[in-house]
């Protein structure tokens, strides 16, 4: 059966051109320094990650080799030293990434021939949507108290500690970021806001350009 016709009004409408970002020129080579440092950092990060993976694999393997020979006294850390006498410590921590049930069953039941329930457990990691505490965009104490009372009642019935952790925070209203420039129309006021109630400032370097003119 053919699809029914769908009428749209914007199928052939071109995207509106983005407004051009203005250029502010400064009389120094500061941006070149920033972009050069960014390029160097990217290169260093790539080399670090490659070397990190190699050392990690070596350390994990050597720790495994040692610990299977003394399973009742396992080591958690090992120093790995190379021919230049540089060394790095490799540590196995008791923190594991979550995995799917199917992956766990395949690993422990099929590959390691072990009862999966004897080594891992299936549980629930809960989160709470705190937006339910808001009414018309404002914190509603009555809603918070009602939810907290209900949670406390369940916790008391099960004889466990209150699992709901709460703290008071200050956050901007939905329209603050646009409205701040109208409501506080001086540089001094804006800098005062940024000093006490800052928004995140991102600096994204561009490509490094070798140019000595400045």
Residues 102-121 pLDDT 10s: 899 899 999 999 998 888 88
Q: pTM for the whole thing?
A: 0.67
In 3D, which of 91, 86, 122, 90 has the Cα closest to residue 104? 122
The predicted model gives 78-98 an average pLDDT of 91
Q: What is the pLDDT of residue 42?
A: 95
- Grade residue 213 by pLDDT with cuts at 50, 70 and 90: low
The answer to whether 193 and 14 have CB atoms below 8 angstroms apart is no
Residues 136-172 pLDDT 10s: 988 899 999 999 999 999 999 999 888 877 888 888 8
Q: Name the residue ranges covered by the structural domains of the chain.
A: 24-95, 97-125, 127-168
Q: Give percent of the chain with pLDDT exceeding 90.
A: 51
Mapping DSSP onto H, E and C, the string for 62-117 reads: HHHHHHHHCCCCCCCEEEEECCCCCEEEEECCCCCCCCCHHHHHHHHHHHCCCCHH
């Amino acid at each position: 059966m053919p699809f029914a016709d769908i009428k749209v009004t914007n199928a052939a409408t071109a995207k509106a051109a983005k407004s051009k970002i203005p250029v502010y020129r400064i009389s120094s080579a500061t941006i070149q320094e920033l972009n050069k440092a960014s390029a160097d950092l990217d290169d260093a990060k790539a080399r670090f990650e490659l070397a990190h993976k190699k050392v990690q694999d070596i350390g994990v393997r050597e720790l495994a080799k040692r610990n299977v020979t003394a399973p009742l006294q396992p080591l958690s850390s090992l120093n790995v030293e190379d021919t230049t006498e540089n060394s790095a410590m490799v540590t196995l921590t008791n923190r594991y990434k979550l995995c799917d049930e199917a992956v766990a069953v395949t690993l422990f039941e099929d590959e390691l021939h072990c009862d999966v329930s004897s080594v891992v457990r299936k549980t629930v990691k809960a989160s709470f949507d705190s937006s339910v505490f808001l009414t018309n965009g404002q914190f509603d104490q009555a809603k918070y108290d009602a939810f907290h009372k209900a949670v406390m009642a369940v916790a008391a019935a099960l004889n466990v500690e209150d699992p709901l952790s709460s703290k008071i925070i200050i956050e901007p209203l939905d329209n603050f970021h646009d409205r701040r420039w109208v409501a506080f129309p001086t540089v001094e006021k804006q800098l005062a806001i940024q000093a006490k109630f800052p928004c995140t400032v991102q600096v994204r370097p561009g490509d490094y350009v070798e140019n000595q003119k400045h």
